[in-house]
C-alpha cells in the first residue's frame, strides 16, 4: 500500500493495514501494552508503505524500530525482497544481524532509499527530538543520506510543540573533555540547564557508540529550533544535537484505538 504524500494529517483504520495486523483490539489493554501495540502498528505501516524491492534501508534505533525490523524481515522472507540495511547504532546492527537481513554501511551504500526511525517527540511541523537512546549522531547521519526519512512512534510522542510531551530535554552528543564548558554555554545562551546523562547499570556517564558523552538540555521555552540547532552545533566540542529539523518527511503514530495516523511535513 503506497500512500499519497501531502501536508497534513491522515488516518489509516486498523483494517486498512496488511492482514498480519488486522486482528488488533486495544480495548481494556493496560497502558504499557497499548503503547507497545501502538509502536508496532506505526512500524508495520511504515515498512509496508515505504519499503520496496531492491532498496537500501536505514534502520533506526530504540524500541519502536524493533517492530519495524520484525516486519522488514517478515516481508523479505515472504516476498523474497532484496533489501540492504544500514544501521544507525550498535543496537540496529545487532537487530539486522539477528533477523538475518543484509548488513551494509555508508561506505558501500552512501545513498539510501529510505530511513525509518523512532523519535522521542514529534511536533506539528515534524521537527523531532531524538537521542533518548543516545544514538542521535549516527541516526542523523543515516537520515541525512536517505531520500525519504520516515518516523515511527506511538501516540505519546505526538506533540504540538517540542517539550509538551517529552520532558527529558534535547540530547546533545559532545566530546567528553568539553562537556562542562558546553553545558555552561548552552545554559547561558539559551536558558535552562544541560546535564550530563548518567548511566544506569554502570558508574559514571553514558558513553555513546562514538565514545562521547550526552548532555540532556532541559530548555525552558519554545525556540526557533532551526536557529538553535545551528547555534549549538557551532559550539566547539558539540558533535551533534538531537534536534532533527526539516528532515522527516512523514511520521506514523500508532494510536490507542488501534488505528494509525500519519502526518506529513509542511511543503516549503
32: CB partners within 8 A, 6+ apart = none
Contact 139, 89 (CB under 8 A): yes
Out of 36, 37, 121, 139, which one is annotated catalytic?
A: 139
Neighbours of 247 (CB within 10 A): 20
| Contact call for residue 60 and ligand 5RP (CB under 6 A) | yes
139 catalytic, yes or no? yes
Nearest to ligand 5RP of 112, 136 (CB atom) = 136
Candidate list 87, 131, 169, 258; residue touching ligand 5RP; CB under 6 A: 131
Question: Applying CB under 6 A, which part among 20-28, 58-66, 74-82, 160-168 lies near ligand 5RP?
Answer: 58-66
Pull the grid cell for residue 208.
555513546
**Judged by CB, which is closer to ligand 5RP: 61, or 185?**
61
Q: Which stretch, 26-34, 114-122, 199-207, 214-222, contacts ligand 5RP (CB under 6 A)?
A: 114-122
Nearer to ligand 5RP, 118 or 169 (CB): 118
258 touches ligand 5RP (CB under 6 A): no
Taking CB under 6 A as the rule, does residue 254 contact ligand 5RP? no
Nearest to 47 by CA among 186, 161, 185, 150: 150
How big is the chain, counted in residues?
A: 268
Q: Quick count: other Cβ atoms within 10 Å of Cβ 103?
A: 16
Q: Are 38 and 155 in contact (CB under 8 A)?
A: yes
User: 21: closest CA among 2, 6, 43?
Assistant: 43
Using rule CB under 6 A, residue 132 touches ligand 5RP:
yes
Q: Is residue 134 within the footprint of ligand 5RP (CB under 6 A)?
A: yes
Q: Return d(Cα 252, Cα 224) in angstroms, integer.
A: 24
Taking a C-beta distance cutoff of 8 angstroms, is the pair 112, 145 a contact? yes
CA dist., res. 31 & res. 34, Å (int): 5
Count Cβ atoms below 10 Å from residue 31 Cβ, excluding itself: 9
For the CB of residue 211, give the shortest distance to ligand 5RP in the complex, in Å: 16
Residue of 115, 136, 239, 247 that binds ligand 5RP (CB under 6 A):
136
210 binds ligand 5RP (CB under 6 A): no
Nearer to ligand 5RP, 21 or 185 (CB): 21
CA distance 92 to 96: 6
Q: Is 135 in the site for ligand 5RP (CB under 6 A)?
A: yes
Least separation in angstroms between residue 208's CB and ligand 5RP is: 9
Among 133, 163, 169, 254, contact with ligand 5RP (rule: CB under 6 A): 133
Do 24 and 14 form a contact (C-beta atoms < 8 A)? yes
- Nearer to ligand 5RP by C-beta: 60 or 163? 60
Q: Please give the residue ranges that form the binding site for ligand 5RP (CB under 6 A).
A: 60-64, 117-120, 130-136, 139
Q: Annotated catalytic sites, by residue?
A: 139
Amino acid at each position: 500500500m503506497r500512500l499519497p504524500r501531502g501536508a497534513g494529517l491522515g488516518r489509516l483504520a486498523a483494517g486498512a493495514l496488511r492482514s498480519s495486523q488486522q486482528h488488533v483490539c486495544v480495548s481494556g489493554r493496560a497502558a504499557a501494552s497499548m503503547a507497545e501495540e501502538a509502536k508496532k502498528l506505526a512500524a508495520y505501516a511504515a515498512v509496508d508503505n515505504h519499503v520496496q524491492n531492491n532498496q537500501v534501508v536505514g534502520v533506526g534505533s530504540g524500541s519502536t524500530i524493533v517492530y519495524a525490523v520484525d516486519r522488514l524481515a517478515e516481508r523479505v522472507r515472504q516476498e523474497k525482497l532484496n533489501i540492504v540495511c544500514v544501521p544507525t547504532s550498535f543496537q540496529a546492527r545487532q537487530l539486522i544481524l539477528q533477523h538475518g537481513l543484509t548488513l551494509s554501511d555508508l561506505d558501500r551504500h552512501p545513498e539510501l532509499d529510505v530511513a525509518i526511525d523512532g523519535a522521542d517527540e514529534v511536533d506539528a511541523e515534524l521537527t523531532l527530538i531524538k537521542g533518548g537512546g543516545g544514538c542521535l549522531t549516527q541516526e542523523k547521519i543515516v537520515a541525512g543520506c536517505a531520500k525519504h526519512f520516515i518516523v515511527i512512534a506511538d501516540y505519546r510522542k505526538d506533540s504540538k510543540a517540542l517539550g509538551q510531551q517529552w520532558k527529558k530535554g534535547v540530547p546533545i552528543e559532545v566530546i567528553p573533555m568539553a562537556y562542562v564548558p558546553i553545558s555552561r554555554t548552552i545554559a547561558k545562551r539559551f536558558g535552562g540547564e544541560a546535564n550530563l546523562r548518567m548511566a544506569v547499570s554502570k558508574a559514571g556517564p553514558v558513553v555513546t557508540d562514538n565514545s562521547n558523552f550526552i548532555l540532556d538540555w532541559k530548555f525552558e521555552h519554545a525556540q526557533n529550533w532551526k536557529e538553535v540547532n545551528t547555534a549549538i552545533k557551532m559550539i566547539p566540542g558539540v558533535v551533534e544535537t538531537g534536534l532533527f529539523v526539516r528532515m522527516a518527511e512523514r511520521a506514523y503514530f500508532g494510536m490507542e484505538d488501534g488505528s494509525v495516523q500519519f502526518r506529513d511535513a509542511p511543503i516549503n
